């Protein structure tokens, strides 16, 4: 158990819908990362937050948005869902700070299926 929690574990929804994925980082970690893992695209970095502020942005679609709250938990919002959004979504957390090289601890993931 990494100490990072994600809810829900599984999510099944229809095209065009909107969903919210939730992540709670390890105690003391200030950085949260979101990743999408699909069979054809591998592990893709979406976005990173550090202490409530967006720090880095990767291949995140405009239909997707995220935020980190004052209690440091984070939510990833996916809207206007398409079949291709079906994937495993991971959250990871790290201590953060000035260095980019802090070990990231991954949560168990949320499996999203869009029908």
Partner 1 sequence: GENVEQHPSTLSVQEGDSAVIKCTYSDSASNYFPWYKQELGKRPQLIIDIRSNVGEKKDQRIAVTLNKTAKHFSLHITETQPEDSAVYFCAALASYIPTFGRGTSLIVHP
Residues 6 or more apart from 54 whose CB is under 8 A from it? Answer: 47, 48, 66
Establish if 93 lies at the interface with partner 1 (CB under 8 A).
no
**Paired strand residues for 56:** 48
Establish if 80 lies at the interface with partner 1 (CB under 8 A).
no
Establish if 52 lies at the interface with partner 1 (CB under 8 A).
no
CB 107 within 8 A of CB 92: yes
Establish if 74 lies at the interface with partner 1 (CB under 8 A).
no
Among 24, 48, 74, 110, binds partner 1 (CB under 8 A): 48
In the three-class reduction of DSSP (H, G, I as helix; E, B as strand; rest coil), residue 83 is classed as: helix
Q: Which is nearer to partner 1, 61 or 106 (CB)?
A: 106
């Amino acid at each position: 158990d990494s100490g990072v929690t994600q809810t829900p574990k599984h999510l099944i929804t229809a095209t065009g819908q909107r969903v919210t994925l939730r992540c709670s980082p390890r105690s003391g970690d200030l950085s949260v990362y979101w990743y999408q893992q699909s069979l054809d695209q591998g592990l893709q970095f979406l976005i990173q937050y550090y202490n409530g502020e967006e720090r880095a942005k990767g291949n995140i679609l405009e239909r997707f948005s995220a935020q980190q709250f004052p209690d440091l938990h984070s939510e990833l919002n996916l809207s206007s869902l398409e079949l291709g959004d079906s994937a495993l979504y991971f959250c990871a957390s790290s201590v953060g700070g000035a260095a980019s090289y802090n070990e990231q601890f991954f949560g168990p993931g949320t499996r999203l299926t869009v029908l």
